[in-house]
């Protein structure tokens, strides 16, 4: 058997993997839709992760200053808890 006849035989028939996939078209569409759904879920999870991380760090990125005082009663940075004047005067005494 020559190389030329062997190449003709392989070019006439579709590859085995494609033949198996295209034989049952409904099964192929169900499999592709399952893969697409999983991809959508992955990208949604990455989007949620990036938005949560970006939202938490956005305030810190836009602050301009050398020293920041945050009350120990504050649950987050934008909570707005106040200090007593005594603590503010102590902090002002630090050079």
Q: Compute the distance between CA of residue 38 and CA of residue 20 in angstroms, rounded to an integer.
A: 23
Per residue in 34-57, pLDDT (tens digit) is 999 999 999 999 999 988 887 777
CA 50 to chain centre: 5
Q: How confident is the model at residue 1 (pLDDT cuts 50, 70, 90)?
A: low
Residue 38 sits in which domain range?
A: 3-93
Which position has the higher pLDDT, 13 or 94? 94
Per-residue pLDDT at 32 exceeds 80: yes
CA dihedral 82, 85, 90, 94 (to 10 degrees): 70
Domain count, the chain: 1
Backbone angle region of 76, left / alpha / beta, with phi > 0 → left and psi within -120 to 50 → alpha: beta
Which position has the higher pLDDT, 50 or 75? 50
Q: Compute the distance between CA of residue 84 and CA of residue 91 in angstroms, rounded to an integer.
A: 11
Report yes or no on whether pTM surpasses 0.75: no
């Amino acid at each position: 058997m020559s190389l030329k006849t062997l190449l003709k035989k392989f070019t006439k028939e579709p590859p085995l993997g494609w033949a198996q996939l295209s034989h049952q078209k409904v099964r192929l569409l169900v499999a592709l839709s399952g893969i697409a759904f999983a991809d959508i879920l992955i990208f949604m999870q990455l989007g949620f992760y990036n938005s949560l991380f970006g939202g938490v760090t956005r305030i810190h990125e836009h602050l301009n200053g050398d020293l920041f005082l945050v009350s120990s009663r504050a649950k987050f940075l934008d909570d707005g808890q106040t200090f007593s004047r005594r603590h503010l005067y102590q902090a002002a005494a630090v050079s």
